[in-house]
Amino acid sequence: MSDILVYPSGPQGDLLITGARLLDPRGGIDATRDLLVRDGRVAELAEPGSLGRQDGVETIDGEGLHAFPAFVDPHVHLRTPGREDEEDIDSGTRAAAAGGYCAILGQPNTDPVVDTAPVLESLIERSRTEARIPVGFLAAITRGQRGEELTEMAELADVGAAGFTDDGLPVASAGVMLMALRYQRLAGRPLALHEEDPALSGAGVMHEGAVSAQLGMAGIPSVSEAVMVARDCALAGYEGGRIHVQHVSAAESVLAIEQAKAAGVLVTAEATPHHLCLTDEEVRSLDSHFKMNPPLRSEEHRRAVIEGLRSGALDCIATDHAPHSREEKEQPFEAAPMGVTGLETAFAALHTELVLPGVLPLGLIVERMASGGQTFGIDAPSLEPGSPANIVLVDLGAEWVPGEPGYESRSANCAWDGRRLTGRVRMTVAAGRVAYRERSFAIGAVA
Amino acid sequence: MKKHLLSIDDLTREDIERILTRADSFAEVSGRTIKKVPTLRGQTVINVFYEASTRTSSSFELAAKRLSADVVTFKSAGSSVEKGESLKDTVQTLSAYDPAAIVIRAPYAGAAGLVARWTTASVINAGDGKHEHPTQALLDLYTLWRRLGREALTGLNVWIVGDVLHSRVARSGVMALGRMGCEVTVAGPPTLIPRDVESLGCKVEYDLSRIGEADVIYALRMQRERMQGSYVPSLREYAARFQIDGRRLSPSQLLMHPGPVNRGVELSAEVIDSPQALIVQQVESGVVVRMAVLFELLTGGDGDEGERAGEPVTRDTEPQPA
């Protein structure tokens, strides 16, 4: 797909998926077909039963299942190096495969921070043997993510940085941001931005609104995000730079991005499943599984994010998968760290909370989940013949409870932990290799 | 010629050629045992340096002495500037000595222009902030002229590489080279190239992949201070991308640098010592070109007031009655 991804090695097996309903909105495919994968590519789409038996090809019974282009997540915290107890490259890419992802991009807020070529190179090296699906990495914009001095962005890009971000922290200084946008001409990779004005978010732990007023917890106003989005859109427009706004949570941010796009600014943006599906009402439980940054906001903001996704103001869905250890999360809400896991539940949550109630169509969710890498040069997967085989096989009717079967991730801090969801990934093919088979499905296939 | 040399903009192509030709004749004087001509005998030249300078101040001093002028060099350290005297008061004080010329370097753009309003002397800009350094551009032209011949400047492809943003040498150089018909490209990290610099009449490159097109590579000094303020992430990455070294400098290209060089940053040691390097010749050119500038301004510059429209007339003649 792209030279910024590290591909797992190992044999590619040819596959015939029979009788599945194929849905690839971008490729204009919406029909029941047999899908043949040969040599890592979609070789043929044929009327069910018409291909006959294929020698040396494993047949997968797709009857009653949906096949989509697999998903790409540009925003994953793999916690490696430094917190391998929370996630590592193996577990993180397994979790991604279990969620239907065929490629992910890791964030650089690790320990040490990915701010020099040697750290990035060692991650790339480890990924060659540990990753289950193609994986790429972003590097930091500033050294140590301190927001002061630029990293050696040109060298980092040469080594393979997919982009640059200080995610977890904003680039607070507009002057440093402008320098980064200028220097971007040398590095030639997008800047992915965690938008938050620390002077406004302060010590906040949740959305500033009715719920924070009642709970007596410090609020993070929606404008703490929106003013930085507007600032950085203005700077990117001035400098002709390329930016990607991460985890948009506020209505005002959606508006600022819409306006910037209309003005020709090279900006893309992502929304997370949790900001699309949940609100600050969840925080009334004081369960730290609903604590993340940016915070879950009010229904009005959630609606605006949904509409932004529908209109295209927001280009893609990203999980911001942020593993934390049990002991860190098992604390009072205010003391717990920010972040929730999301790779394994993203599709099921969006299907349950948005598609089934008729808020957003299935095709739109599939398209926005598959297009997450485009900003960074990763082509959106497709089911069209000739495309690399990146396929997710889903049972839209299957109900399950996240956490009950355990997680592939090393961490369990999932916002949907213990909640019934409808829609289960049965199998994921990433870059021509079967990267994941759901256990019961794998057993069924053998029988 | 105008009375002052504040900017390359003060010079026509003919003025520049006259200065370079004059410098050539002074080069002959410099070859003599007694390197002196009596041209400016009895006249006073005052050098006023508000910034550290080695080669510019010493070459101006030598130039004036070789023309037999009386020379006073005044540096801000140890002067009444440290006691808080303003630029204007200092200039008016020094003007009381009735100098023929004041050579001024100051850390502010336009400082030389201000001095020109406050004195009756001819004013030569020896560097005003990050704005201009016209005599450097002239000596660079002269160095190329000597090396390549008079006709070779037209169409000559010159790349100015490095910290253009903070460089008065680059700004005067772009204008002077352009005036002589050279094709000028400025190259460097985008953080150190001024926005809209194309308006000066040069092309812009943000990498050196096409530097093979250059006939002359003019490297600029990369100052350590630029690490603060995030202009570049590190000298290491700067050098990796923009250092002129043996791989980037071909045997057919000439290399220039205004000095002082940061070895191993903007230039590698091998190219500094290569036969293509004109760095020593540039220093040599400094004296004769500054002699020529002093000569042209102080003897040839009868001065057409009309050329300096807009400048207040503060010469030693009485103002015309209205």
Q: What would the pLDDT profile of A32-53 be if each residue is shown by its tens digit? A: 999 999 999 999 999 999 987 7
Residues making up chain A, counted from first to last:
447
Q: Using CA atoms, how far apart are residues A109 and A80, in angstroms rounded to an integer?
A: 9
Residue B260, preceding peptide bond in cis (omega within 30° of 0): yes
Could you give the CA distance from residue A363 to residue A172 in angstroms, rounded to a whole number? 37
Closest B-chain CA to A177:
B230
CA angle A440, A441, A443 (to 5 degrees): 65
Edge-first strand order for the sheet with B216-219 is: B203-205, B183-187, B157-161, B216-219, B254-256
- A179–B191: do the CB atoms touch at under 8 Å? yes
Query: Can you say how many angstroms the Cα of residue A106 is from the centroid of all Cα atoms in its chain?
Result: 10
Residue B298 pLDDT greater than 90, yes or no = yes
| pLDDT tens, residue by residue, B47-86 | 999 988 888 999 999 999 999 999 999 887 666 666 667 8
Instruction: Say what percent of chain B tops pLDDT 90.
Output: 79
Predicted confidence (pLDDT) per residue in A125-144, tens digit: 999 999 999 999 999 999 99
Classify the complex by whether its ipTM is higher than 0.90, answering yes or no.
Answer: no
What is the per-residue pLDDT for B229?
Answer: 67
Candidates A149, A151, A178: best to mutate against B (most CBs of B within 10 A) is A149
Q: Contact, A88 vs A78, CB < 8 A?
A: yes
Taking the C-alpha atoms of residue A262 and residue A266, their distance in angstroms, rounded to an integer, is 10
Closest-CA distance, A45 to chain B, in angstroms, reads: 45
Q: Which of B233, B236, B240 sits opposite A150 (nearest CB)?
A: B233
Name, in order, each residue with C-beta under 8 angstroms of B91's C-beta and a sequence gap of 6 or more: B48, B102, B115, B118, B119
Res. B263: pLDDT tops 70: yes
Contacts of B233 by beta carbon, 8 Å cutoff, 6+ apart: A143, A149, A150, A151, A152, A153, A183
Lowest mean pLDDT among A267-271, B187-191, B260-264: B260-264
Quick one: closest CA in B to A157, which residue?
A: B237
Q: Which residues of A touch B190 (CB under 8 A)?
A: 182-186
pLDDT digits (tens, 9 = 90+) for B198-212: 999 999 999 999 999
pLDDT tens, position by position, B209-235: 999 999 999 999 997 776 676 799 999
Average pLDDT for residues B137-159, to the nearest whole number? Answer: 96
Give me the pLDDT at residue B309, please: 33
Rounded to whole angstroms, the Cα distance separating A275 from B282 reads 64
With beta carbons less than 8 A apart as the criterion, state whether B222 and B265 touch.
Answer: yes
A186 close to A211: Cβ distance less than 8 angstroms: no
Chain A nearest-CA distance from B270, in A, is: 24
Q: What is the pLDDT of residue A228?
A: 98
Q: Which pTM value belongs to this model?
A: 0.90
> B225 to chain A, minimum CA–CA distance in Å?
13
CA–chain centroid gap for A126, Å, is 21
Report CB contact under 8 Å: B240, A155.
yes
Q: Which residues of A touch B189 (CB under 8 A)?
A: 182-183, 186
- Residue B196 burial by Cβ neighbours in a 10 Å radius (0-12, 13-18, 19+): exposed
State residue B45's pLDDT score. Answer: 97
Q: Rounded to whole angstroms, how far apart are CA atoms A296 and A292?
A: 7
A·B CB contacts under 8 A: 44
- Inter-CA distances, A317 with A421, B108, B136, B206, Å: 18, 52, 57, 34
Q: Cα(A373)–Cα(A273) distance, rounded to whole angstroms?
A: 16
Phi first, then psi: what are they for A180, rounded to 5°? Answer: -60, -40
What's the DSSP call for residue B82?
G
Q: Cβ separation of B233 and A182 shorter than 8 Å?
A: no
Give the residue from B63, B19, B57, B18 showing the smallest Cα distance to B40: B63
Residues B103-117: b if buried by 16+ CB within 10 A, e if exposed: bbbbeeeebbbbbbe
| Tokens describing residue A373 | 């890498």
Report pLDDT for A10. 77
Tell me whether residues B230 and A182 touch, CB distance under 8 A. no
Task: Give the pLDDT of residue B6.
Answer: 97
Comparing CB atoms, the residue among B230, B234, B241 nearest residue A179 is B230
pLDDT at B249 over 70: yes
Asked if A185 and B229 come within 8 Å (Cβ–Cβ), the reply is no
Residue contact B233–A153, C-beta within 8 A: yes
Q: Evaluate whether B100 touches B299 at the Cβ level (below 8 Å).
A: no
What pLDDT, on the 0 to 100 scale, is given for residue A72?
Answer: 98
Interface touch A186/B236, C-beta < 8 Å: no
Smallest CA–CA distance from B206 into chain A, residue: A186
Q: Which residue has the tokens 């990050």?
A: B130
In this prediction, residues B145-168 reach a mean pLDDT of 95
- Residue ranges in chain A whose pLDDT is less than 70: 1-2, 442-447
Q: How far apart are CA A279 and CA A261, in angstroms?
A: 27
Please give the positions of A annotated as active site.
320
